[in-house]
Amino acid sequence: MRFILDGSVFDRERSAESLRKIVRDWDDRGFGLFAVEVRGSGEMIGWAGLSVPAFLPEVLPAVEIGWRLARHAWGNGYATEAAGAALRFGFGAAGLDRVISIRHVDNVRSERVMQKLGFVHEFDTVVPGHGQPVAVHAISAGG
């Protein structure tokens, strides 16, 4: 959460509302966020998946790929693996032609994941209402 809004962790009620929105997105759009768990242990370490980035109107219409993992899971390749699977789902079953990914300009870990997946930096901008500087990256079906 370090690079998301004010960096605070969701409380139980905000987490529950977020989960309800995830379910609605799958029902309404046919895509959404996947739980990420460690193969073998079954530990849930976060999520990765597809959403509509309504927080950044200048990129719309668009579908964004994103991920959030527990800190102890960083550096193990989980984000790249999970986001890669979500990207394949997006270009396959969801029928998307293009996917973007948005990161805080200082989030170099996410930038590295995007590079590994083949995303190309398109432009930098600022999130309206929050003033956060972000970089927008994109990839099209077929690379």
CATH of the domain at 86: 3.40.630.30
Q: pLDDT, tens digit, for every residue of 120-140?
A: 999 999 999 889 999 999 999
Does the structure show a pLDDT above 60 at 7? no
Put simply, whether the predicted model's pTM sits higher than 0.75 gets the answer yes
CB 134 within 8 A of CB 102: yes
Q: How far is CA 126 from CA 56, 59, 79, 91, 101, in A?
A: 8, 12, 24, 28, 14
* Residue 15: strand, helix, or coil: helix
Does the structure show a pLDDT above 50 at 1? no
Rounded CA-CA distance 93/14 in Å is 30
pLDDT attached to residue 14: 80
| Residue 5 included in any domain | no
Query: Mean pLDDT in the chain?
Result: 91
The single-letter DSSP state of residue 19 is: H
What is the arithmetic mean of pLDDT over 5-17?
A: 72
| Residue 4 included in any domain | no
CB 81 within 8 A of CB 34: no
What is the arithmetic mean of pLDDT over 79-88?
A: 97
The domain total for the chain is: 1
| Residue 92 included in any domain | yes
Range of the domain at 88: 12-140
